[in-house]
């Protein structure tokens, strides 16, 4: 281990548009395993998010406030460059299904090639969240469906503001 690795720092990247209870579950399970967990919102010009970067960061701060070792940030560019900047040794990725694994494996292998000193840790989604994605939450509420229990209450309130007429 190098001198900088006496504190285990992990980065959990994502678009978090919005954060779901599945994301929250991973944070709850990973935060006790590391000294610092950086939840990093990707600024992706190719995606058209429902919430602005600032709104996503604000939602994460609200929801993750109870975790003293969790830091909220945003980044663009290569994840491994950002992880190096944060002195992280670990990348956290959630896996819901085999289809996630195929994509995540490809990304992990590329990241390992670019930054062999940074490991990727896959955490399986909790059973209750194995189907859950931000995209699906937005589709369901957009069609008038009930999303309670799928996202934190403060996030549900924000979604209902974005989709007027939804109960």
Catalytic residues: 23, 47, 96, 134
How far, in Å, CA of 29 to CA of 27, rounded? Answer: 5
Q: Which residue matches tokens 């309130």?
A: 157
Say how far residue 132 (Cα) sits from the centre of its chain. 13
Contacts of 119 (CB under 8 A, 6+ apart): 89, 90, 91, 112
């Amino acid at each position: 281990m190098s001198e900088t690795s006496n504190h285990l720092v992990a980065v959990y990247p994502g678009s978090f548009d919005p954060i779901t209870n599945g994301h929250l579950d991973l944070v709850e399970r990973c935060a006790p395993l590391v000294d610092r967990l950086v939840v990093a919102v990707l600024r992706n010009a190719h995606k058209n998010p429902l919430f602005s970067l600032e709104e996503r960061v604000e939602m994460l701060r609200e929801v993750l406030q109870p975790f003293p070792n969790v830091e909220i940030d945003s980044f663009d560019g290569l994840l491994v460059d950002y992880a190096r900047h944060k002195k992280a040794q670990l990348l956290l990725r959630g896996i819901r299904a085999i289809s996630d694994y195929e994509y995540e494996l490809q990304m992990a292998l590329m990241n390992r090639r670019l930054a062999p000193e940074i490991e990727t840790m896959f955490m399986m989604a909790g059973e209750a969240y194995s189907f859950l994605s931000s995209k699906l939450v937005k589709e369901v509420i957009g069609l008038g469906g009930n999303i309670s229990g799928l996202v934190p209450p403060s996030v549900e309130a924000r979604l209902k503001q974005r989709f007027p007429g939804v109960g």
